[in-house]
Amino acid sequence: MRKENTKKVKIQELKPDLRVVKKVKTKPYSDIDLNNWREYSHIKTDTWWEFASRDKSNGHSNDYHGNYIPQIAQQLYERFTKKGDIVLDMFLGSGTSAIEALNMGRRCIGVELKQEQTDIVKSKFSPKELVTDINLICGDSANKKIKEKIQARLDVMRRDKAQFLVLHPPYDGIIKFSDKKEDLSNCATPEDFYALFKEVAQNGYDLLEKGRFAALIIGDEYKNGEIVPLSSECCYRMREIGFKHKATIVKNMEGNERAKGKKANLWRYRSLNGGFYVFKHEYIYVFQKV
């Protein structure tokens, strides 16, 4: 009789996987996963922002004097918005806010005073994008009636309010953008500028969702032999409206200017002769609607 093979086969006992998968931890206004916060080293968290040059990729260019650099939008959008959110820009200019919103999976409503400039920005987007993701309005951002037009666009985009507000006004009369009396660059006095800016900011505040954030991008002016503190005065108006002041960021201006010649000997002479210093910075103020 043949002896059967009695060799025992060892059956490996399967053990349950005891690893814990952490739930994604985000804030209501951001897609940043705070459980993996180390992966976001590209996001600035201090108050000094330095950029060597302007980003001219992905639809951006430097064809408009006075626009802000795309890196500011990139930083602010990732920090304070979620995909699908609507950015409201009350001084659209060359469309930086809208271009970067599309690049980052956000949407944008932009208001621009000049019709010709609105048409130029429209040409940067496809007809489909101008229906689904980008809404451009030619109008006066300080006028109360502009809120009705913006609200109508919000309704089409199926949101009650915007989720992020961008304010990048003219720096008083440093650059004249048009001959329109509604243009902030044509204000007769700084006091007129502050009053008109506050009206724009109030409209933006009213259209912003509670708990969400706003950014004011602005610099100061040197006029009649002294500093005109546009930045701090406009910041004060934002707080008067009801915004909570969250941060003051200083950003270098080198690399995002066009043909100003501030590095030339002429500006060094003017500085030494006039007893002033040449601006190399501007401000980004961050606020929250509470």
In tens, the pLDDT along 183-213 reads 999 999 999 999 999 999 999 999 999 999 9
Is residue 10 domain-resident? no
Domain count, the chain: 1
Average of pLDDT values for 60-86? 88
The string of DSSP letters for 176-216 reads ---S-TT-GGG-SSHHHHHHHHHHHHHHHHHHEEEEEEEEE
Is residue 27 domain-resident? no
What does the alpha-carbon distance between residue 249 and residue 102 come to, in Å, rounded to a whole number?
Answer: 25
Res. 229: pLDDT tops 70:
yes
Please tell me the predicted confidence (pLDDT) of residue 67: 79
Please tell me the predicted confidence (pLDDT) of residue 106: 98
Question: 228 by DSSP, 3-state: which?
Answer: strand
Average of pLDDT values for 66-75? 91
170 HSE (CA, 13 A, CB side): 21
Is residue 56 domain-resident? yes
Is residue 39 domain-resident? no
Mean pLDDT, the chain, whole residue set: 89
Domain range holding 126?
A: 45-289
CATH label of the domain that carries residue 132: 3.40.50.150
Is residue 256 domain-resident? yes
What does the alpha-carbon distance between residue 168 and residue 91 come to, in Å, rounded to a whole number?
Answer: 6
Res. 1: pLDDT tops 50:
no
Please tell me the predicted confidence (pLDDT) of residue 20: 63
**How would you class 49 by CB atoms within 10 Å of its CB: exposed for 0-12, middle for 13-18, buried for 19 or more?**
middle
Average of pLDDT values for 214-241? 96
Is residue 17 domain-resident? no
In 3D, which of 244, 154, 234 has the Cα closest to residue 201?
A: 234
Place of tokens 């001084």: 91
Spell 226-248 as b/e; 16+ CB within 10 A means b: eebebbebbbebbeeeebeeeee
Please tell me the predicted confidence (pLDDT) of residue 174: 84
Is residue 170 domain-resident? yes
pLDDT in tens, 91-131: 999 999 999 999 999 999 999 999 999 999 999 999 999 98
pLDDT in tens, 140-171: 999 999 999 999 999 999 999 999 999 999 99
Predicted TM-score (pTM) of this structure: 0.87
What element of type H or E holds 289?
A: strand 281-289
What does the alpha-carbon distance between residue 101 and residue 160 come to, in Å, rounded to a whole number?
Answer: 19
Angle between helices 190-207 and 146-156 (to 10 degrees): 30
Percent share of the chain, pLDDT over 90: 73
Is residue 38 domain-resident? no
**Contact 67/271 with Cβ under 8 angstroms?**
no
Please tell me the predicted confidence (pLDDT) of residue 12: 53
What does the alpha-carbon distance between residue 134 and residue 101 come to, in Å, rounded to a whole number?
Answer: 9
Please tell me the predicted confidence (pLDDT) of residue 259: 47
Alpha helices in the chain (DSSP H): 70-80, 96-103, 115-122, 129-132, 146-156, 190-207, 230-241, 265-274
